[in-house]
Structure 1
Amino acid sequence: MNTIPVIAIDGPTASGKGSVAHRVAQTLGGWSVLDSGALYRLTALAALRRGIAADDAWALARTAGSLDVHFHNECIFLEGEDATDAIRQEEVGNMASRIAGYPDLRQALLERQRAFRVAPGLVADGRDMGTIVFPDAPLKVFLVAAPEARAQRRHKQLIDKGISANIDDLLQDLRARDARDMQRAVAPLKPAEDARVLDSSFLTLEQTVQAVLKMWKEISAA
């Protein structure tokens, strides 16, 4: 059994998982962070650039298995190029959501994700961190927020980066992605049986981080 602790943070698109994961890891000191969604987005970005169709499951799995990826702080590099902003484009996010259910692609990324589990600990965010990738994680958080709140956050995120966005279109896309993620046959979006559900609709980032740290403190003291 792997004794390196993992805090798994799962939840729907734009629920704030990534920001919370980074802040929790920083507070705990020296913990690694896995943004699993970035791996699917990077696969989608690489596929779009190479002209690979969204229904070519074999080519997508091969692309996922050979991704030249490097994470540094909160920056993500694909083939040596900073792709941090590129993978947040709506076109990339929509394709990532469409291809994320392919079994061969998920298998290609599974061991790559588990390799992030290094001492002193890992904070992993995604859709199936607590159910599939790290089922033995001592703390599993399922982070939720109302679609309207998530659309507002995503809108602000894009506008702050100078990317034009329509909030009604964002809300529609979020609901469509939620439906795809929850209804897919492989690793559907759902809380693990022992997950703690945390609704951040009316919480600030700092309040959400503190709530997760409180849960971890309780588990560590038990």
Structure 2
Amino acid sequence: MNIITIDGPAGAGKSTVSKELARRLGYTYLDTGAMYRAVAWAAWQKGLDAGDEKALSKLCNNLRLGFRGDHILVNGKDVSSLIRTPEMDRLSSAVSRVAVVREYLTRMQRDLGRQGQLVAEGRDMGTVVFPQAAHKIFLTASAEERARRRKRQLENQGEEVAYEEILAQIKARDKADSTRSIAPLQAAPDCIVVDSSDLTAEEVLEKILYEIRDRNVSSGMTHS
């Protein structure tokens, strides 16, 4: 399966690395986290409870998700900037624990994966969605470093949030993601673990590319 999966906790640098990896390899980039955020946003727009499985099932049956480059669309509306808020962080974690939402998005992600040459970023790409992927990366970093990165990101967006509050949110999200009963966040047994705590994005990218090329040589595979 000509797919590269990049899983890991929030703030580990998955998006930056995944986008650039896809660009360098000429692959399609799939941001599955944005898909969960988009469902969360759609549920929030309708005033739905994030744990109401029946209501979320109906929502998913009538939802049209799409991509336009790096932008994600909900029923034709570009919601890319609307889903990148602390509130959507919280709601997306909640809806991701609902079975019907995961089933709906997993089917969609696998359909996209059939096209091949895909870099899929998320939390269960290598363990659940694409267990037969050619290369699986688990990108992580300390909670403290991820909180610092998130604080800088919010400041660049004009938002001022205390570091301690962000750190608490990240630790709570980590616990929720790793202990949920459906597709918990965990490293696949055959993945490459990369800790980005003390690495730049370019250093992480070079490490991943080296590992991919090394495995390709060992298995007799090559990328065009």
8 A Cα contact 1:71 1:77, kept in partner: yes
Which secondary structure state, in structure 2, belongs to the residue aligned with residue 143 of structure 1?
Answer: strand
Match of 2:23 in 1: 26
Distance in 2 of aligned mates of 1:79 and 1:24: 29
Alpha-carbon spacing, 1:59–1:102, altered in 2? closer, same or farther (3 Å): same
Instruction: Give 1:16-165 correspondences, 5 Å limit.
Output: 16-29=13-26, 31-117=27-113, 119=115, 121-165=117-161
Equivalent of 1:170 in 166, 179, 187? 166
Which secondary structure state, in structure 2, belongs to the residue aligned with residue 164 of structure 1?
Answer: coil
Instruction: Supply the AA of the counterpart residue of 1:140.
Output: K
Instruction: Supply the AA of the counterpart residue of 2:193.
Output: V
Instruction: Supply the AA of the counterpart residue of 1:219.
Output: R
Distance in 1 of aligned mates of 2:214 and 2:30: 23
> TM-score scaled to structure 1, two decimals?
0.93
Instruction: Supply the AA of the counterpart residue of 1:11.
Output: G
Match of 1:180 in 2: 176
Q: Deviation per CA, 1:168-217, whole angstroms, max 9, x where unpaired?
A: 21111100000001111111111011011110001111111111111111
Instruction: Supply the AA of the counterpart residue of 1:10.
Output: D
Match of 2:222 in 1: none
8 A Cα contact 1:32 1:116, kept in partner: no
1:14 aligns with 2:31: no
Distance in 2 of aligned mates of 1:169 and 1:123: 32
Stretch moving more, 101-110 or 193-202: 101-110
| Identity among equivalent pairs (%) | 38
Match of 2:186 in 1: 190
Distance in 2 of aligned mates of 1:216 and 1:50: 43
Distance in 2 of aligned mates of 1:14 and 1:66: 31
Equivalent of 1:220 in 198, 216, 219? 216
Distance in 1 of aligned mates of 2:198 and 2:131: 29
Offset of residue 127 of structure 1: 0.7
Offset of residue 62 of structure 1: 3.0
Offset of residue 118 of structure 1: 5.0
Aligned residues: 218
Uncovered stretches (5+) of structure 2, i.e. residues with no partner: 219-224
> TM-score scaled to structure 2, two decimals?
0.92
